[in-house]
Structure 1
């Protein structure tokens, strides 16, 4: 049950926090951490019940992700990404789900959704080639979900698909050495002319229209939700959780600190510090409350079997990117008011500041595109985009 998962995860948080510096330095989440999270049931939260999953309310999953991210941003990010793929696979043809989970329902998947691959139609499916960057947690997965364009007879793209590829058909190149979210090991995946059968593909347009082959065997409300809502929230939740966790650590560290300059005195008694804390707390609360509200409303409609209005789907995207922006604004305030103490390498505030900024540049967290879509909808203009 989801409550049991949260309880077990909270027991793991001290060890996850203790390993945070190792994750940052080694550029990957330890296998032991992933095994612990798997044993706690985190990766089953959004997995179809027919394949051993909990198929729970997505709000519970995002709550777990935020708590993990508060202890270690990279671990929270990898958890969220690997966990949301269990949901995405549930939208694929039943045979594809059986291919992955038929022998082992604990199998994990990574992804890289950018349409940089090339699909050439052949008998029974396609031939796939390409190189994809930013596949978070790929070393912990044995299948990958990859974005690709179908190439027509004239060499022009005619469709955009996500395809499912086994580990035996791709190689991983260790290229991830970055400023923030260092431990996500978001390395590069390369495929050379691998065969992909039809049942391991889905059209992105169909998913945006809430049509999926997996609905035949996964009829529950969880799988009636839009891909854009579930996935983009999964890349916002770790950023928000990272900052929320840092805020609590910040209060504990700064409460009794005495300034050695600017007249001295306790930091907590400085009115400007108090205002900064209030602003940061408000931004974090707003980010959580709005993102949770939208997911809750979508899920309640799905449970009731009601249509999911475009207005709500656009509002979710608006608040998801604003939630990420708010988290970044909050961590900037905390970083700035920490003074020189926040500059030390590995300092929790410094690491959270790097992680939040790194997570915010994911394309799904790009505010301009999502806000423009919302504005078009608000003015009554048509909005055609797969990410709503």
Structure 2
């Protein structure tokens, strides 16, 4: 099946690439770029058809993410995380979906999933208080998905939830000034004792068990997939796309380079440079091939209405974190072999190196935890984790 959104987005890539420097300097992706990505269908790829989405093949979504990330890491990151949230919202009670999309199906949702908020049960819902770091693209969004612990009568946490909160109920604090992914504007969000009705609360355990009220109205195979597959791949795909795009620019730039030391000569004639290019390209290919293979296998099982085996879900996480590691290995090779050419502030190699490393520190890209989970499963030990 043709990826129509990818075809549309390709027409935007030269413009996005031209703005990459400004995005990095200003720490913002412009509203115009977000709007044009929306017009191209980027943010509706995983959104239910009932609310104007295309509800399509998730592999196509990650293809578009990689393409955008290849010309601007910050824009690709926002395209991915803002684009995956409609999928999560589709698992909520339909009343919550109507609250967000009932009058405008192009409304965007950001997130800060760390369970640092505090939910206190009250009649009809909960009171939410908290401060959340790193809500990427929150300034472009009208709602936020916020992680919180439910507090029992003795003041102890008893459950882990995600609350859907409108922009009017939280404040955004402009604190994002970092070395990489600078344009994602992943600012802080705070809420103070705001009411959240119970239909805008989702149990994380229930999500991990592939259950939810939204599946009663959104019955397509897309909403039978695990959160840990859709979201963690959305976090890894931009990094792989950044490095893949950098690799192409690296080849173009280094073909014309002449060494001024080490005996001179053309860079492309250096056998060590040739080997580095081979290694980097292999790491990029392996990352893409494994991630796409795994997501497609899950998608096909969901389409067939079959069970999604835990072994495959664990393999998704294994290869997702390994994809990030492979992308970092590749970008480090490119950065080093480019020599002093990669050091100038703002050049494409330097910016890609910063962006890829910045994206890699997201908790979903943490390798040891995901690899240990796979190892437990391979040895036949029980695996209980919300990120599988």
Structure 2 length-normalised TM: 0.99
Name the CA distance, whole Å, in 2 between partners of 1:205 and 1:244.
35
Whole-Å Cα distance in 2 between the matches of residues 363 and 225 of structure 1? 20
SS in 2 for 1:112: strand
Where 1:193 maps in the other structure, the secondary structure is strand
Which digits, 9 at most, give the CA deviation of each residue in 1:53-75, with x for residues without a partner? 00000000000000000000000
Partner of 1:102: 102
Partner of 1:46: 46
Q: Offset at 1:2?
A: 6.3
What is aligned with 1:31? 31
Unaligned ranges ≥5, structure 1: none
Residue of structure 2 equivalent to 1:355: 355
8 Å Cα contact 1:2/1:56 also seen in 2 = no
SS at match of 1:91: coil
Aligned to 1:89: 89
2:128 maps to 1:128: yes
Give the Cα separation in 1 of the matches to 2:7 and 2:292: 20
Query: 1:111 offset after TM fit, Å?
Result: 0.2
SS of 1:178's equivalent in the other structure is: coil
Aligned residue number for residue 16 of structure 2: 16
Counterpart in 1 of 2:137? Answer: 137
Aligned counterparts of 2:327 and 2:29: Cα–Cα separation in 1: 23
Residue of structure 1 in register with 2:299 after alignment? 299
Cα offsets for 1:232-258 (capped at 9, x unmatched): 000000000000000000000001211
- State the partner residue of 1:312: 312
In the alignment, the residues of structure 1 paired with residue 385 and residue 108 of structure 2 have an alpha-carbon distance, to the nearest angstrom, of: 28
The residue that corresponds to 1:255 in the other structure is 255
CA-CA distance at 1:28 after TM superposition: 1.1
**Mapping 1:233-382, distance limit 5 Å:** 233-382=233-382
DSSP-derived class of the 2:9 partner: helix
1:56 correspondence with 2:56: yes
Query: Contact between 1:2 and 1:45, CA under 8 Å: does it hold in 2?
Result: no
- 2:204 aligned partner: 204
Q: Quick one: distance in 1 between partners of 2:75 and 2:132?
A: 21
Equivalents in 2 of 1:16, 1:239: separation in Å? 17
- Structure 2 residues without counterparts, runs of 5 or longer: none
- Provide the aligned length of Structure 1 versus Structure 2: 388
Provide the secondary structure at the position in 1 that maps to 2:87. Answer: helix
Runs of 4+ aligned residues of structure 1 deviating over 2 Å after TM superposition are: 1-4
CA distance in 1 between counterparts of 2:167 and 2:56 reads 28
1:130-174 per-residue CA deviation (whole Å, 9 max, x = no partner) reads: 000000000000000000000000000000000100000000000
* 1:3, distance to aligned residue in structure 2 (A): 2.6
1:208-266 CA-partner distances (Å, limit 9, x unpaired)? 00001100110000000000000000000000000000000000000121111111101
> Normalized against structure 1, the TM-score is what?
0.99
Q: Secondary structure at the residue paired with 1:323?
A: helix
Secondary structure at the counterpart of residue 70 of structure 2 = helix
Offset of 1:4 from its aligned partner? 2.3
